[in-house]
């Protein structure tokens, strides 16, 4: 029986099982290589033992992180949860930060690849005119990441807005990479004339923030609709506001308000000096 990856858990009921096949395919490809396939790395039985112990530590740590937070969990708690000696932890990880980085690395690789495919698709869309297609592909890729690594995504949502220090740093770095990738896509689309309006960092913050909120509410049990239809609906919602229209006049650069000449000061009224009347002589 094939063991589940430590990054995977039972998906939320609203997460469609139709996309879980991609998770199984990637899991099979990420298993330890057969004996003699990896030069310099343990092979055969040693490689299998190493994989099992590493995954036991990752699985125990992930469960504790979700329950108590990354910073609150100690290495002693992790090894107790994995039912292994403390020395085994340092055989596979330098410290807790290294363990957190090992959890988020598969997500980082998949997200980076998804952004790269979307960027290539936008450049192709500049010739074909279908700007929605690359964005829908990106949304579908990211939904697959959520389905394949639900607990790691939950951890990301819990920790990504915290300070970038300690063992949380790899998660915050991933959130920065997501925002940077979204910013680059926004700039590419705007530079190719595919979208208008908000551009760059502001656009990325709005879209990434909304997407992360949707996923968070999905995990919380909100009925946000069929998962398979979410990518198309979200992309349509965003693009309806920013898609460049062929019949629309080019956006005008904001006009600088002409400085009004200073009003001439009103002429000062000359004050007439009142001459005091000399007292006349009293009539006798």
The count of C-alpha atoms lying within 13 angstroms of the C-alpha of 223, restricted to the half-sphere facing its C-beta, is: 0
Looking at residue 245, what DSSP letter applies? P
Please state, in angstroms and rounded to a whole number, the distance separating the CA atoms of residues 17 and 228.
10
Q: Do domains 17-94 and 97-242 have the same CATH topology?
A: no
Per-residue pLDDT of the chain (284 residues; tens, 9 = 90+): 334 444 444 444 444 433 344 444 444 444 433 333 444 556 688 888 889 999 999 999 999 999 999 999 999 999 999 999 999 999 999 999 999 999 999 999 999 999 999 999 999 887 776 778 898 899 889 999 999 999 999 999 999 999 999 999 999 999 999 999 999 998 888 888 877 666 678 888 888 888 898 889 888 988 877 766 776 677 776 666 555 455 545 444 434 444 444 455 555 555 555 555 555 555 54
Ordered by start, the domain boundaries in the chain are 17-94, 97-242
pLDDT value of residue 73: 97
Q: What share of the chain is helix, strand, coil (3-state, %, to 5)?
A: 60, 0, 40
pLDDT value of residue 65: 97
Please state, in angstroms and rounded to a whole number, the distance separating the CA atoms of residues 189 and 207.
14
Place of tokens 């001439």: 264
3-state secondary structure 169-206: HHHHHHHHHHHHHHHHHHHHHHHCCCECCCCCHHHHHH
How far does Cα 261 stand from its chain's mean position? 50
Does the structural domain 17-94 have CATH classification 1.10.10.60?
yes
Please state, in angstroms and rounded to a whole number, the distance separating the CA atoms of residues 226 and 15.
8
CATH class for the domain made up of 97-242: mainly alpha
pLDDT value of residue 12: 44
pLDDT value of residue 125: 84
* Residue 231 neighbours by CB under 8 Å, 6+ apart: 136, 139, 140, 143
């Amino acid at each position: 029986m094939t063991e589940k990856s430590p990054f995977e858990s039972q998906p939320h009921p609203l997460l469609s099982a139709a996309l879980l096949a991609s998770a199984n395919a990637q899991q099979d490809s990420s298993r330890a290589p057969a004996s003699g396939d990896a030069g310099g790395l343990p092979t055969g039985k040693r490689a299998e033992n190493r994989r099992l112990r590493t995954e036991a530590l990752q699985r125990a740590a992930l469960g504790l992180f979700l329950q108590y937070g990354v910073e609150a969990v100690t290495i002693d708690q992790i090894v107790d949860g994995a039912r292994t000696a403390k020395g085994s932890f340092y055989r596979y990880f330098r410290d807790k930060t290294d363990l957190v980085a090992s959890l988020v690395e598969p997500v980082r690789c998949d997200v980076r690849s998804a952004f790269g495919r979307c960027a290539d698709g936008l450049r192709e869309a500049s010739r074909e005119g279908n700007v929605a297609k690359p964005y829908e592909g990106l949304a579908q890729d990211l939904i697959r990441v959520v389905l394949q690594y639900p607990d790691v995504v939950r951890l990301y949502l819990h920790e990504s807005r915290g300070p970038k220090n300690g063992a949380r740093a790899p998660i915050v770095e991933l959130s920065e990479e997501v925002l940077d990738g979204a910013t680059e896509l926004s700039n590419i689309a705007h530079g190719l004339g595919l979208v208008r309006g908000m551009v760059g960092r502001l656009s990325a913050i709005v879209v990434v923030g909304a997407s992360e909120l949707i996923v968070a509410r999905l995990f919380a049990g909100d009925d946000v609709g069929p998962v398979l239809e979410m990518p198309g609906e979200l992309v349509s919602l965003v693009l309806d506001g920013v898609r460049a229209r062929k019949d629309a006049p080019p956006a005008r650069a904001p006009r600088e308000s002409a400085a009004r000449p200073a009003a001439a000061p009103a002429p000062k009224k000359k004050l007439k000096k009142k001459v005091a009347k000399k007292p006349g002589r009293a009539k006798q």
